[in-house]
Structure 1
Amino acid sequence: MEKIFVYGSLRQDFWNYDKVLKNRVCHIEQGTIKGSMYHLPAGYPAVISGTDDIHGEVMTMSQHKLLKSLDFLEGYLGEGQDNLYVRRKHKIVLEDGRQEWCWAYTYVNEKEAQKEGEYIHHGDWKAFMHK
């Protein structure tokens, strides 16, 4: 089964989880990836390359076709296209210390994120939104 790391509005307790993932995942674990996180003026997060721990959830999807819905939501049209985010395999560190590779979306325009976004030094968008 496919797994995806989510760090923004696809996390539990947020609108896109309820809209897209609720009742379509069979397992959820806490995890981190490496990167830098910014809150964009449009109201959602962007993760770009970096060395911070980015906190999120690893969702084990119960439906294989769900990736296509997530690609549409994240503005990912495929390699070499004019994408908002790109979906690639990333090394995830799970809460218990295990590591595995799973899908994650990263923001394409790093300069825009750094210029327009608010840097989230602790790498947890959920905590940022609940401050």
Structure 2
Amino acid sequence: MLKVFVYGTLQPGEVNFPRYCQSHGPQVTPALIPGQLYHLPVGYPALVPGSGWVEGCLLSFADGAVLEKLDELEDYQPGRSPAENEYQRVKALIYADPQTILTEAWVYVMTPQKIAQLGGVPFVGSRWCGLPTVG
């Protein structure tokens, strides 16, 4: 089973969930990860491991093939230097609450250098939500 923690546009109800995740029928579990969120001017968040808590969802997929599409979306290529990737895909402990570990899962994080390069600013709060589109 493939497990991925998501905290931005891949969460249920956000813009990229239907396109990248929904058809794969993931089991969705509310979850937490230690870290700090940053808001990027391009309209999505970035996560840096740290001492605060970030709310999101643990997505559990029966088919691991979805990981290739997620890597593509997150501009991550295994073996490419961190400076060339937008996000880094790493294994991390995922929590049900601050005292209870759920599992280990993949999560996409961003280096502080990449956040600075993209003009990111610290996000106030622990749960990111995209703004509704107007149109």
Question: Which TM bucket (shorter chain)?
Answer: 0.7 to 0.9
Q: Does 1:5 align with 2:5?
A: yes
Q: Secondary structure at the match of 2:100?
A: coil
Distance in 1, matches of 2:59 and 2:108, equals: 13
Q: What amino acid sits opposite 1:101 in the alignment?
A: E
Distance in 1, matches of 2:116 and 2:35, equals: 13
Q: Please show how residues 78-117 of structure 1 align to structure 2 within 5 Å.
A: 78-81=78-81, 82-95=84-97, 97-108=100-111, 110-113=112-115, 116-117=119-120
When residues 60 and 97 of structure 1 are mapped into structure 2, their CA distance, relative to the original with a 3 A threshold, is same
More helix by share: 1
Tell me the matched-pair count. 128
Distance in 2, matches of 1:112 and 1:66, equals: 25
Deviation at 1:114, TM superposition (A): 5.1
The RMSD of aligned alpha carbons is 2.0
Q: Is the Cα contact below 8 Å between 1:33 and 1:92 reproduced in 2? A: yes
Counterpart residue number, 2:125:
122
Q: Is the Cα contact below 8 Å between 1:53 and 1:122 reproduced in 2? A: no
Q: What percent identity do the matched residue pairs reach? A: 27
Query: Normalising by structure 1, what TM-score?
Result: 0.87
Counterpart residue number, 2:66:
66
Q: Secondary structure at the match of 1:77?
A: coil
Q: What amino acid sits opposite 1:24 in the alignment?
A: H
Counterpart residue number, 1:52:
52
After superposing on structure 2, the runs of 4+ consecutive aligned residues of structure 1 that deviate more than 6 Å are: none
When residues 51 and 114 of structure 1 are mapped into structure 2, their CA distance, relative to the original with a 3 A threshold, is farther
Query: Normalising by structure 2, what TM-score?
Result: 0.85
Q: Is the Cα contact below 8 Å between 1:38 and 1:114 reproduced in 2? A: no
Distance in 1, matches of 2:77 and 2:48, equals: 18
Q: Is the Cα contact below 8 Å between 1:55 and 1:123 reproduced in 2? A: yes
Deviations 1:10-62 (A, max 9, x none): 00001100111013133110111111101100001010132110110000012
Gaps of 5+ in 1: none
Gaps of 5+ in 2: none
